[in-house]
């Protein structure tokens, strides 16, 4: 019996010419995702509300010969999101990939968290995902193709002290992305998630009180019921970005409604 094998492109230009829109692109995980896709030949629409940081990031990447263009937008504003997506498609072409990486962190006990901190966290981390996903996927449906990845968090399924708003927002974004993926699967559109744990970004370091923060994060805390990181190291933003790229790629062509956890074992595989 003769067996036929399927080969797929795995070279460094595997996303050649694909248009990708990435939110939260000015720094941290979002910027790492922009770089990872651009290095594989993608054409990047880097979206962020911070115009100064976005300009610095996009100019640095463009200076390396990568195809990256910045678009300033606030994902909490639906009209602004819709206009930005229209501008991206007019200037760069139809969006093939969407990465929802915009996010904020507001710490505080669930009982004393301010209305503003709660509302702002939900607005960016959950409602922002809704706004951008709706605007992009509604354009993907007539084309019957596309892939979306939402950067969620391992906190979406594991309680954390001081992080009620953040965990709730990421849980909402997680289930929204899965429900969306179920509804648009018939159009060949895949919707997945990457759930990072502690990642070496300014968001994480903002939680540290002194120079021992890094070590304490890796070690864990019995007092706050937080397991450490079995791999004994923080994730680098590129670790998360590579997982995002995999889920966008043809290597993951039969994967949808999936959450890929990238946390060094911090949630014990649960």
> Which residues belong to the active site?
166
Distance CA 267, CA 155 (A): 9
Distance CA 89, CA 216 (A): 45
Consecutive H or E run containing 33: helix 28-38
83-122: burial string, b at 16+ Cβ within 10 Å, e else: ebbeebbeebeebbbbbbbbbbbbbbeeeebeeebbebbb
Gyration radius from the chain CA atoms: 18
CB 192 within 8 A of CB 256: yes
207 token code pair? 């939680």
141 token code pair? 């449906």
Residues constituting the chain: 270
Which residues are within 8 A (CB) of 100 and not within 5 positions of it... i.e. 6 or more apart? 23, 24, 128, 129, 132, 133, 148, 149, 150, 151, 173, 177
């Amino acid at each position: 019996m003769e067996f036929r094998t399927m080969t797929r492109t795995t070279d460094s230009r595997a996303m050649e010419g694909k248009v990708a829109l990435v939110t939260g692109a000015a720094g941290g995980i979002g910027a790492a995702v922009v770089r990872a896709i651009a290095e594989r030949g993608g054409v990047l629409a880097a979206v962020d509300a911070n115009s100064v940081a976005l300009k610095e990031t996009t100019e640095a990447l463009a200076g390396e010969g990568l195809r990256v263009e910045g678009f300033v937008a606030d994902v909490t504003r639906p009209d602004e999101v819709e206009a930005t997506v229209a501008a991206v498609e007019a200037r760069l072409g139809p969006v093939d990939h969407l990465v929802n990486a915009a996010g904020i962190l507001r710490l505080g006990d669930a009982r004393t968290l301010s209305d503003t901190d709660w509302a702002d966290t939900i607005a960016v981390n959950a409602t922002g995902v809704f706004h951008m996903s709706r605007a992009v996927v509604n354009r993907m449906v007539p084309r019957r193709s596309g892939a979306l990845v939402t950067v969620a968090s391992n906190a979406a399924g594991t309680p954390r002290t001081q992080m009620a708003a953040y965990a709730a927002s990421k849980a909402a974004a997680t289930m929204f992305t899965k429900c969306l993926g179920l509804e648009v699967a018939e159009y060949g559109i895949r919707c997945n998630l990457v759930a990072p744990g502690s990642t070496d970004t300014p968001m994480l370091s903002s939680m540290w009180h002194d120079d021992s923060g890094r070590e304490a994060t890796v070690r864990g805390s019995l007092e706050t019921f937080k397991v450490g990181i079995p791999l004994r190291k923080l994730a680098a933003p590129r670790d998360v970005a590579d997982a995002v790229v995999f889920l966008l790629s043809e290597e993951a062509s039969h994967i949808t409604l999936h959450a890929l956890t990238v946390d060094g074992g911090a949630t014990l595989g649960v």
